[in-house]
A and B are shown apart, each in its own frame.
Chain A
Amino acid sequence: MKKTYKIEVDCANCANKMEAAAKATEGVADCVVNFMALKMNVEFEENADPKGVMEKVLKNCKKVEDDCEIYL
């Protein structure tokens, strides 16, 4: 399953870091962060609960970049 979320982040490298952090999160099969459109496309693993996974993704992203936001 794929979902798109709006994000808020200031720098392009931070967006790359968020992408890496989201990819490493359990339940995420793949993730692309589009810095120019400020969007995050997340592909979830089968049987994953998007809501729970996204909370973890947000937590991991906050870890690498304090100033980011994902609008769940």
Chain B
Amino acid sequence: MNKKQKKVLIRICITILMLILIVSSMHFCGNLIEDRPLLKLAMYMIPYLTIGYDILRKAFRGIIKRQLFDESFLMAVATIGAIALGEYLEGVAVMLFYQIGELFQSYAIGKSRRNISELMDIRPDYANLVTGNSASRVDPDEVNIGDVIEVAPGEKIPIDGVVIFGKSSLNTSALTGESLPREVTEGSEVMSGCINMTSLIRIRTTKEFGESTASKILELVENASSRKSKSENFISKFARIYTPAVCIGALALAFLPPVIMMLMGKDTDIKTWVLRALTFLVISCPCALVISIPLSFFAGIGGAGRLGILIKGSNYMETLAKTDVVVFDKTGTMTKGVFEVTKVKSVGVSEEELLRLTSLAESYSTHPISRSIIAHYEDKYKTEVCKDKVLEVNEVGGKGVNAVIDGHQVSVGNAKLMHDEGINADGLSKVNGAGANGSASKDKEAFDTALSAEGSSAQTGTVVHVSIDGAYAGYILISDVIKETAVSAVERLRKAGVGKLVMLTGDSKAAANEIADTLKVDEVYSELLPEDKVSHVEELMTAKKSGRSLCFVGDGINDAPVLARADIGIAMGALGSDAAIEAADVVLMDDDPVKIALSIKIARKCIRIVYENIYFAIGIKVLCLILGALGIANMWWAIFADVGVMVLAVLNAIRALFNK
């Protein structure tokens, strides 16, 4: 609580104490006080002024500036009116509860503001700039691109860069929501906002502070609630009409019925009608509505941010909640987009020996495929490839490598190379057929694919054949692997009620269908150029149900036009890619496809809360207005309609912060 809030709290406590004193003294010596009206008025005026002096002052200023629908003014009129009619306790109580409501509101909002900024606590305060041999603490703004900074364990990385010294693990949870630490070593790219955990590292910066990941994300989150949703705009328009309408209603209620009754020749009690009108004024304040909607969105966006989902505006929250069609890209979205050894088939030698010889033969190569084989071998058998054993290496352009290892002539490459070595396709399939039960046709297929693609990265995978001393020794299949969570990501999308799942890819039909079958998507379009993707998305958008939205998910590298065209563009694993962050409406900070369903779920929950609040607040207010006009609801009800509804709506809004 800040000073202002504490002061109000003290005033509230004093007022409550005074009211208790007054009520009990009325109980014990009521007659004595009732006989002296001035004394009674004075007794109530003390707590009234204690709790309401600032509201009265504000109301007075409002009158001077002709702001008739100012909240303070309305409250002042309602309470002074009640006191003038002799309803002292009601007058003071309305003011008291109004202040309690205001205090609660400002406390709750301050609290959720702080909560969310703590969630997004990635803003680095300083950088340790290395000059010569020593490091000095400077403002991160002062660090230039190419400078070297030092990050000790426990410190936040202030600026994006590349590690040039040291090994450590980083905690990226503030950025990605991922709790597993990330290992970094010399040459690894690191992002600002991560926390260095184990040992000191030095980083050469590649970006300025303002352009670094942490700064960009903070800017994005802070600006997110500036893009207002339809419901927010509706509420602010509603508030503009609501208050004047209720005030006019109050005026009509005070004077029309008595006048009509008088004309009809009946007795009327004008006091009753004026009191009912004052009840209207208390209900006329639109605060519960106006505060709970942006607060819900703010909490929803903040809660999503904690899970590594950046939603760039309240309006996108609304569209995301209506998702019925999800279209996604294959490579990088559902698959890892990197090569991995997916199958090893050895003939005549052990699998380990095959991998060992291949790794050695490839050890001088920097090609991603060679690297993936070596990595697989080292990882699987926990060893390191020792280049010393390789005697002679001959690279055969476009075909592969010939090497002499341990006195053996080893050839590693595509089918053409095998052909050169005197092994032909038929021979291969026979060899395979003899060795692999049942999977022969598949192996043949793989080999055929390798043949047709001429050793370039064929779509179902790249086949690397190996021969030892002119005899076929087997092959290694390398392909882009599906992400571990991809299947469950699709399942969760279905569970979340998404009607149609479509996969678009630039890859070959065979590869696309294989992945589509594993994932169980509804439609798949393959061999597409980037512009084809846009036209397919446009077609799907015209075909979708009206009122629902289409969401496109891509890795953001070459999907920018599609991301922009779809109702909602989700870029995944987009940290560090400015173009993707720019083009997308929702950014998933890590590349886990499960987050797609999660973000839809969060958006739906947030929108549900928003609607709950709208219906609840307007409903209760309208109900109290009707009951007030009929004389059933009195001022106490009105206070509940104003303050109680606001408190409940705010509490409900804060729920949007928590997602499981």
Contacts and interface: CB of A to CB of B under 8 A. Distances in A.
Given A12-B290, A16-B290, A67-B58, A37 B236 contact: no
B291 A32 contact: no
A36 B109 contact: yes
A41 interface: yes
Contact of B71 (A11, A34, A36): A11
A19 B290 CA distance: 13
A64 B71 CA distance: 11
A39 interface: yes
B67 A36 contact: no
Contacts of A63: 65, 67
Contact of B294 (A10, A35, A66, A67): A35
Contact of A66 (B62, B222, B236, B287): B62
Q: Is the interface of A mostly helix, strand, loop or mixed?
A: mixed
Given A37-B226, A66-B62, A20 B294 contact: no
Nearest to A64: B67
B286 interface: yes
B594 interface: no
Contacts of A64: 65, 67
Contacts of A67: 58
Interface string A4-37: 0000001111101001100000000000101111
A35 B295 CA distance: 9
A39 B226 contact: yes
Interface in A26-72: 32, 34-37, 39, 41, 63-64, 66-67
Contacts of B222: 37, 39
A37 to B, nearest CB: 5
B294 A13 contact: no
B298 interface: yes
A67 B228 CA distance: 24
B271 interface: no
Contacts of B228: 32
Interface in B185-240: 222-223, 225-226, 228, 236, 239-240
A37 B239 CA distance: 21
Interface band, chain A: 10 to 19
A37 B240 contact: no
Q: Is the interface of B mostly helix, strand, loop or mixed?
A: helix
Interface in B64-120: 65, 67, 71, 102, 105-106, 109, 113
Contacts of A41: 223, 226
B343 interface: no
B545 interface: no
B387 interface: no
A11 B613 CA distance: 17
B90 to A, nearest CB: 23
Nearest to A40: B226
B536 interface: no
Nearest to A32: B226
B544 interface: no
B287 A13 contact: yes
A66 B58 contact: yes
A13 B290 contact: yes
A19 B240 CA distance: 12
B61 interface: yes
A15 B291 CA distance: 10
Nearest to A37: B222
A53 B514 CA distance: 61
A20 B243 CA distance: 15
A64 B72 CA distance: 12
Nearest to B297: A36
B286 A66 contact: no
Nearest to B242: A13
Contacts of B291: 11-13, 35
Contacts of A35: 291, 294
Interface in B520-534: none
A18 to B, nearest CB: 11
Contacts of A13: 71, 239, 285-287, 290-291
Contact of A16 (B65, B102, B239, B297): B239
Interface string B15-39: 0000000000000000000000000
A63 B285 CA distance: 19
Contacts of A20: 240
For the complex of A and B, 7 pairs with smallest distance between CB atoms = A36-B298, A12-B291, A12-B290, A13-B290, A34-B226, A16-B236, A36-B225
Interface of B: 58, 61-62, 65, 67, 71, 102, 105-106, 109, 113, 222-223, 225-226, 228, 236, 239-240, 285-287, 290-291, 294-295, 297-298
Interface of A: 10-14, 16, 19-20, 32, 34-37, 39, 41, 63-64, 66-67
23 contacts: A10-B106, A11-B291, A12-B291, A12-B295, A13-B71, A13-B239, A16-B239, A16-B240, A16-B290, A20-B240, A32-B228, A34-B223, A35-B294, A36-B109, A36-B225, A36-B297, A37-B225, A37-B298, A39-B226, A41-B226, A63-B65, A66-B58, A66-B62
Given A11-B291, A13-B239, A13-B291, 18 more contacts: A10-B106, A11-B71, A11-B102, A11-B105, A11-B290, A12-B290, A16-B236, A20-B240, A32-B228, A34-B223, A36-B113, A36-B225, A37-B223, A37-B225, A39-B222, A63-B67, A64-B67, A66-B61
